[in-house]
Amino acid sequence: MKISVIQPDIVWENKSRNFQNLYGIISPLFKNTDIVILPEMFNTGFSMNPGQFSESPESETFEWMKSTARNGNFGVCGSFMVKEKGRFFNRWIFVTPQEEMWYYDKRHLFSMGEEDKYFSAGKSKLVFTFRGVRISPYICYDIRFPVWNRNNNDYDLAVYSANWPEARINVWNTLLQARAIENQCFVAGSNRTGTDGNGIKYCGYSAIIGPRGEVIASAEINSECSVSAELSMTDLSEFRKKFPVTDDADNFTINI
């Protein structure tokens, strides 16, 4: 499978400009990749204004994702603000060219940014299969919580959509590699560049990591771009057989 991570400079709370900008970065990948991975809140930036910018689950942003997936013949994923049954969610959505859809609501809300005051936390992990690869998605702050990220031999690729500030970028880099190593899986992390409406700076460092923690591909710092890599499920399976770490893992349950 070939995956592509997108690293944009998100225009603050301006959906139409972000759709145009993202399309310009994504269009060269049409019919040349299997999955396009977008950052957290890719249509607005990390805004705490869901009353104005949230959408119903299958509205404007979802329609843009469907159209892009269909035109490119790839899966498209990333998070945006959704309103459902009177509550707001930071929701990650995956759309296929055939208009199949899976979604995951961010579990760990960033309380230091008051995200928990505006959004409801998700209560379920997600694992699904696309083109033969088992995928488990997470959103930004989720990456700090290894129990929630634990691979119970049920996924091959962990996807992280993020708005991760430049001030803590070394943590982002370290955790991407740690999650790959401890879960013996591929990891793809999409982060933004630029400065948001709150004056917070982002520098990117989007990356694709292998199951040994090796950096397979990484984006240029402070650059709007995409970065792609081929993932071999055969190599992953052989590595897991030769070094079966998960056989010795501790059993646990998560109380929600």
- What is the domain range of residue 193? 2-247
Hey, what are 223's tokens? 């650059």
Mean pLDDT, residues 171-189: 98
Percent residues over pLDDT 90 in the chain: 95
Residue whose C-alpha is closest to residue 82's, from 44, 34, 28, 37: 44
The confidence band for 115, taking pLDDT boundaries of 50, 70 and 90, is very high
Tokens of 148: 């929630």
**Helix H or strand E segment including 47:** none
Question: Is 82 contained in some domain?
Answer: yes
Q: Return the pLDDT at 256.
A: 77
What integer best gives the mean pLDDT of the chain?
Answer: 97
Confidence bin at 221 (pLDDT 50/70/90): very high
Res 112 pLDDT > 80: yes
Residue 256, domain member (yes or no)? no
Is residue 175 assigned to a domain?
yes
pLDDT tens digit sequence for 54-92: 999 999 999 999 999 999 999 999 999 999 999 999 999
Q: What is the mean pLDDT of residues 119-143?
A: 98
Q: Which pTM does this prediction carry? A: 0.97
Distances (CA, A) of 64 to 15, 77, 178, 191: 10, 11, 33, 20
* Catalytic annotation, residues: 40, 106, 140
Strand-pair partners of 82: 55, 89
CATH value at residue 219: 3.60.110.10
Q: Are 226 and 6 in contact (CB under 8 A)?
A: yes
Domains identified in the chain, total number: 1
Instruction: Tell me if 85 is assigned to some domain.
Output: yes
* Alpha-carbon span 140 to 155, nearest angstrom: 19
